[in-house]
Amino acid sequence: MNAMNRDLMKLVAEKEQNAWKKWDEDHWRPGFHLMPVTGWLNDPNGLCFYKGDYHVFFQYSPFDENGGVKFWGHYKSKNLTEWKYLGAALYADQPYDCHGVYSGSAYIEDDTMYLYYTGNVKHLGDYDYVNNGRESNTVLAVSKDGLHFENKNCIMTNKNYPPDCTCHVRDPKVWREHDRYYMVQGARRQGSAPGNDFGEVLVFESVDKVNWQIRDRITSELPFGYMWECPDYFPLDGMNILAVCPQGVESEGIRYQNLYQCGYFAADKKITSRCRLGGFTELDFGFDFYAPQTFQDEKGRRVMIGWAGMPDADYENPTAQKENWQHCLSVPRVLEWKNGQIYQRPAEELQMLRQEKITGEIAGSYVKKDLSMYELELFVTGGFEIRIAEDLSISYDPVSRKVVLSLHGRLAAGRTLRAVLVDKMEKIHLLVDNSILEIFINEGEKVMTTRFYPNERVHEMMIKADNGKFNLWRLNKMEFQKGSIY
């Protein structure tokens, strides 16, 4: 521990202690989504199951709700519904990460947690920070207990990446196959002419988790955006999945509606075996979902958590101006491969938050008042509309086959409309949590996520449908505690 680290720990703890005092006063603060105590949150990182606990790290700027120098915040849980906040785990306190502890992953072996991340450095001067002026260092932090991270080591710098890469190489994800370790990193490769850079994934290989050599470079057959962020490679029910967040992809009607995209390619074989990528499929069709990461838990499930936000978007989050915090994470989603695509469903542990159940049939409309945190299952084969707090609606038109998510007014904070095609509607499942909505269509065939900001803590929900059935639950808050080392 150096002097910089000690001072940062004191400053962060003081900032968080003051924020804890107002924890329950803010009606926009989610009750069952992980969020920052104060300041800014973005990418989930280092997701893992370790020594009986789920660990969720996240990029964190406690001093600036609009995003300043990034640290890693840290939550842990035994059951995904009762969480301890353990403060900031990794600080920007070394020459190789002094401008930010950027995204990365966790690898567990021999009761040891290995955290790999990108150490960001931006030099002072007249630089474009794409081709010059920026260091993207790969850093390894090791812990024997999942709580203390005192051993940090810079294991790769820009000179270890291919020379035709720009300075944008980041977000390591590590796994093991047989007697080798592998790592993917997102990269921006220089094009043959100015302005035609393209995204790719770099694959590295190691025998000791410390010394890494480039093994392969993977990209789509045709250029697809100028940068691929947050790569994640994993097997899923016999398929090989490469998830990435491409930047610079042009919208195509209702496809690629956000500024940056978030989705996956299915590969014809393992990424370590000269694979070929299939088409790109979006993971979420709403306004606020980016930089997801997956891990395998002790039950063998592939679990995914994403950032409920979107970088550089032209819409806002009023919590930044009014409550001094911004953003949250999605609920944990369990992934399955079926019908030629990834399906996502909320982790079943969230059902422990359910209170009384209301069931009913709809032949016209149904209204429920005084709601804030709740879960709705609607079974319907025709068209429908669900209205939340008046200015948010989810509707389905069986003729156009579109599910439309529409927001307007102050509640929207600049969000407007998103849509996705669904051939046949059978079920829509909503998780509503004060200022975040997650929509699961047909058991997770399609998913849409958005933030929204009602004027009051409670609001009204209305369903219109000619013929349908529903289940409705009010939901309890998750338990949030300050951990013993806080």
* 126 labelled catalytic: no
pLDDT digits (tens, 9 = 90+) for 36-65: 999 999 999 999 999 999 999 999 999 999
Closest CA relative to residue 123, chosen from 146, 150, 98 = 98
β-partners of residue 463 are 366, 386
Q: Are residues 336 and 383 located together in one domain of the fold?
A: no
Catalytic residue among 7, 26, 43, 370: 43
* DSSP 8-state assignment for residue 15: H
**Any domain includes 325:** yes
Q: Which residue has the tokens 């299939």?
A: 278
Q: Provide the CA 417 distance to its chain's centre, in angstroms.
A: 21
Statement to judge: residues 318 and 443 lie in one domain = no
3-state helix, strand, coil in the chain (%, to 5): 5, 55, 40
Averaged pLDDT of the chain: 96
DSSP state of 252: B
Same domain, 100 and 143: yes
Closest CA to 434 of 116, 10, 64, 28: 28
Q: How many domains does the chain have?
A: 2
Of 314, 344, 374, the residue at which a domain comes to its end is 344
CATH number of the domain within which 221 lies = 2.115.10.20
CA within 13 Å, CB half, 164: 12
Asked if 319 and 385 sit in the same domain, the reply is no
Residue 381 belongs to domain with CATH number: 2.60.120.560
For residue 5, being part of any structural domain is answered with no
Q: What is the pLDDT of residue 484?
A: 54
Q: Decide if 219 is inside a domain.
A: yes
If DSSP codes are grouped into helix, strand and coil, which group holds residue 460? strand
Q: How many residues does the chain have?
A: 486
Q: Is residue 327 located within the same domain as residue 471?
A: no
In a domain, 484, yes or no: no
pLDDT along the chain (486 residues), means of 10: 86 90 87 96 98 98 95 97 96 96 98 98 96 97 93 96 97 97 98 91 98 97 96 97 98 97 96 92 98 97 98 96 96 98 98 97 95 97 95 97 97 98 97 98 98 94 96 95 63
SS3 call for 13: helix
Same domain as 228, residue 145? yes
CB–CB of 344/304 below 8 Å? yes
| Final residue of a structural domain among 303, 326, 344 | 344
Same domain, 107 and 126: yes
Is residue 19 within 8 A of residue 38, CB to CB? The reply is yes
Same domain, 95 and 204: yes
Q: Do 333 and 375 reside in the same domain of the chain?
A: no
**144 C-beta neighbours (distance < 10 Å), count:** 14
The residue among 297, 318, 344 that closes a domain is 344
Q: Say whether both 192 and 115 belong to one domain.
A: yes
Clarify whether residues 315 and 380 are in a common domain. no
pLDDT at 486: 46
Q: Is residue 486 part of a domain?
A: no
157: helix, strand or coil:
coil
Whether the Cβ atoms of residue 204 and residue 214 lie closer than 8 Å to each other: yes
Query: Is 230 part of a structural domain of the chain?
Result: yes
- Say if 16 falls within a structural domain: no
Same domain for 427 and 357, yes or no, is yes
| Structural domain boundaries, residue 334 | 34-344
